[in-house]
Structure 1
């Protein structure tokens, strides 16, 4: 399957075909969720927690969600307030989210992995009136939010003397007649707030509208078994919850950390049909000896995104995916999905635009003028969608930095569209480096490094020098027992890349792991910090193993 992308050569705009929404965007997602939950058999299982060993039925999920909505209403909370959530995928998180939808109160979700300062920063913007968190994150959340005076309830791993979610989950009289709050601000009313990925700086609070949540329900139906390691502080984490509640099926959750072995165990144990995750996760999975066509026979769809997927990685995944399709996707926290590639054609691209998205390629020229580019010409990727983005919560300055007056959003990525309407990604615009007057992409160097048989992962960063500009350094993870040296890597790059400005002019650092966020995105700034600390402590540009 490939979506049609047309090109307006006069205005230099690429356009995709619009897709008719399944649900009325002017209907609250809370009302839709309530209707869909009530329409399912009460004893049918909608969610299984592998880590907690629990099952949640549609009937119980509906009852709990109504209890949460009723409690929020009793507190006087509505669409102009915010509920704070700091939690992983545990049994009672989904009913809390749905309860917020039913009451029309947006929630601001964060993963417990966030540092106290990030929680303080984001909640200072959204100012939640009530907070739900995992027990192990309670003290961190309490310290970060003490000036808000918001009550905190634990979702799991409860602490003595601390309110818990069970205190709220009391039966509501006449619950079968309970109705969702109508939309006060229409289809664009904010219903969810998630953090930006934080890969280029401190995270910001990204608004997701009612219309947006209803538009992305994925490739699922009532027989689907869904799984992702993503929690609902991430777009794919929310997408799976929306798909589960509105379309049915069973969602598998866990708080256990990702390993390829554990992912394979989940697929086998629950006969998973729909998977979402990062290319790193599925690439590692495909390297396991036990990754076979028989094991993967239940899988219908794998949607991966969040970082670049090497063609070789895609080939390895598809080799055993005999009953399903691999979708290489591209999107941002602000926009959601932008393009998809369903096939093994042009696997070095992220496919064609979809969902009514429009795209421009712009190049910055002197005096900060932006020049529109045509096919096969590189520049910054700007996107416009029919669903309005409501910006960063309580942060108009940051919103104006990436969205123009006409609603076009700067993705922060550099790329180009080819003659067939396929989108090629080059790198993040903020990651592009400059050495001796020449611009270069760290991503290109990373791809070359990981093509070495003994290399498992790599991250390239720039260290500024007053005379030469950005000197490329690389953090490299090699296979256990490998004798690969810095000179081996630099010699290989010299042969493959040739030009001096693409070489590792700051050297190689051998590390045990590459820092990524909870969803597999590379934390380039963090790796630079780690490597410079190694340099400071050892006096060498290479960590002696």
Structure 2
């Protein structure tokens, strides 16, 4: 991180980047091209509108939208007004979004119009959930239902707020105070909000940018969703620190990735292994000029060595890195270094970032350092379960360290599995499936899938007399939960295997799925 960003807040970073990189391109979205100076102005205008709307320092402001310029401006505007950002997963259905809005007591929500054929406004309304803290909803579109406001109307509301007042609000933001709450699912299945500060975010992603070698003028295709720590912080914040160009891509689509890389001369492309594999295997790959790619960052429990070799060999990408992180540790724990051999990049997630420690205790990965969250939002009991008295975060992941200190993740205590780059938590899926009227009992595991890496498989026990079929349950799940959570296979049992303490023996279910 630049020395002059030490002790800075995210509003301070936005202003610093506007002054330092002023005329340089900051964001490209289709035909819209915004410089760093213009981005700074847009963020201040959004912050003024937040102030006019009654957002006070510390209030939670949520954003439920795909990767767009409006996401960047609304999120940074809210944070500049002193708010705490609550990003919502675009795959959520209405009930899932409503839970996070209710739990965080969000005061203001920025919501996309229609995305991928879904009206997010309608899906939120359908829940019928009363959200007493939610005072305003702003639709990031040209039209909105009459009790909501359009983005344009919202911004106009801030025109009477003096620039000096916005500046004062931004200057009053304490770097050690919370900048965002990232909701993740714990083993209980209910999402918990990891509270991360401004100083943590900037220190962690200043380090990420330095280790990755991100530089001024890099053109960065941000496919990783902004609602995810990696998309927002290794994307937006890292670019602001380095003066790189952000090219947000709203949809995870390989044809669009190839078109964007060629048209925008993209040099930096982080993404999950599934995305990179599909780029390499695309039948029309040779018709796109991908020669500008120089930095690829990926991460997963398993990254095939062949993938790393092909990225370097076939695409000529000089730097391919892997990393490991979790929301409770600001999204980053370990990272490979430039110059690491292919075997290290593929088989491990690299070494701890500077200023942090990693150790293995009874097989579990423990982390301590400046990256660890202050705790779960308003949940001291949940916090005490994962952060011990000595400050070690118990990750729930199983791993080992080699002699050089490289971390290898081998399994997940929490049973979490990754579906095409999205973390899926069995306990949460079980809870959602458990409300089906025809089910008595249900357990979920991850099973291998050639396209997505892993997908959910459900083992269910029907109520007596119920005639529910696997297809029925899968169709019902598609209506009730984000697509990546939906079980792709269902097997009905007369009862689930349980141990003496009543816990489901998932090892038996995994063996059954393999058999």
Q: Structure 2 matches for 1:97-176, cutoff 5 A?
A: 97-135=75-113, 136-142=119-125, 143-144=128-129, 146-156=131-141, 158-161=143-146, 162-170=148-156, 171=159, 175=163
Shift of 1:266: 1.4
Match of 2:278 among 251, 266, 284: 284
Provide, for residues 34-81 of structure 1, a one-character-per-residue CA deviation record: whole Å limited to 9, x for no partner.
232144335x4321224xx43333343222211221222234433321
Q: Check whether the contact 1:31–1:180 (CA below 8 A) recurs between aligned residues.
A: no
Aligned residue for 2:367, secondary structure, equals strand
Kindly indicate whether residue 28 of structure 2 is the aligned counterpart of residue 45 of structure 1: no
* Cα distance change on mapping 1:253 and 1:145 into 2, 3 Å: farther
Give the Cα separation in 1 of the matches to 2:396 and 2:66.
Answer: 28
The residue that corresponds to 1:209 in the other structure is: 197
More helix per residue: 2
* Cα distance change on mapping 1:270 and 1:290 into 2, 3 Å: same
Q: Structure 2 matches for 1:391-430, cutoff 5 A?
A: 391-430=375-414
Q: Check whether the contact 1:330–1:338 (CA below 8 A) recurs between aligned residues.
A: yes
* Cα distance change on mapping 1:422 and 1:169 into 2, 3 Å: same
Aligned residue for 1:158, secondary structure, equals coil
Higher relative contact order (CA 8 A, sep 6+): 1
Match of 1:69 among 47, 53, 60: 47
Count matched residues: 431
Unaligned ranges ≥5, structure 2: 114-118, 428-442, 453-469, 475-481, 495-511
TM-score (norm 2): 0.74
Match of 2:259 among 265, 290, 293: 265
Give the Cα separation in 2 of the matches to 1:314 and 1:522.
Answer: 29
Aligned residue for 2:252, secondary structure, equals coil
* Cα distance change on mapping 1:89 and 1:522 into 2, 3 Å: closer
The residue that corresponds to 1:304 in the other structure is: 298
Q: Check whether the contact 1:189–1:210 (CA below 8 A) recurs between aligned residues.
A: yes
The residue that corresponds to 1:498 in the other structure is: none
* Cα distance change on mapping 1:245 and 1:205 into 2, 3 Å: same
Provide, for residues 148-190 of structure 1, a one-character-per-residue CA deviation record: whole Å limited to 9, x for no partner.
3421010136335331111132346764895153676843210
Q: Check whether the contact 1:359–1:381 (CA below 8 A) recurs between aligned residues.
A: yes
The residue that corresponds to 1:332 in the other structure is: 326
Aligned residue for 2:255, secondary structure, equals helix
Which range moved further: 275-284 or 320-329? Answer: 320-329
TM-score (norm 1): 0.70
Give the Cα separation in 2 of the matches to 1:395 and 1:105.
Answer: 20
Kindly indicate whether residue 176 of structure 2 is the aligned counterpart of residue 188 of structure 1: yes
Shift of 1:147: 3.2
Q: Check whether the contact 2:259–2:288 (CA below 8 A) recurs between aligned residues.
A: no
Q: Check whether the contact 1:153–1:164 (CA below 8 A) recurs between aligned residues.
A: yes
Match of 2:12 among 31, 37, 51: 31
Give the Cα separation in 2 of the matches to 1:348 and 1:164.
Answer: 48
Match of 2:308 among 294, 311, 314: 314
Give the Cα separation in 2 of the matches to 1:472 and 1:193.
Answer: 28
Provide, for residues 361-393 of structure 1, a one-character-per-residue CA deviation record: whole Å limited to 9, x for no partner.
111xxxxxxxxxxxxxxx000000134522121
Give the Cα separation in 2 of the matches to 1:102 and 1:125.
Answer: 23
Aligned residue for 2:98, secondary structure, equals helix
Q: Check whether the contact 1:195–1:204 (CA below 8 A) recurs between aligned residues.
A: yes
* Cα distance change on mapping 1:310 and 1:145 into 2, 3 Å: farther
Give the Cα separation in 1 of the matches to 2:227 and 2:186.
Answer: 12
Unaligned ranges ≥5, structure 1: 1-19, 364-378, 433-441, 447-458, 463-469, 480-508, 514-520
* Cα distance change on mapping 1:177 and 1:35 into 2, 3 Å: farther
Kindly indicate whether residue 489 of structure 2 is the aligned counterpart of residue 531 of structure 1: yes
Q: Structure 2 matches for 1:453-492, cutoff 5 A?
A: 474=447, 476-477=449-450
Larger Rg: 1
The residue that corresponds to 2:229 in the other structure is: 235
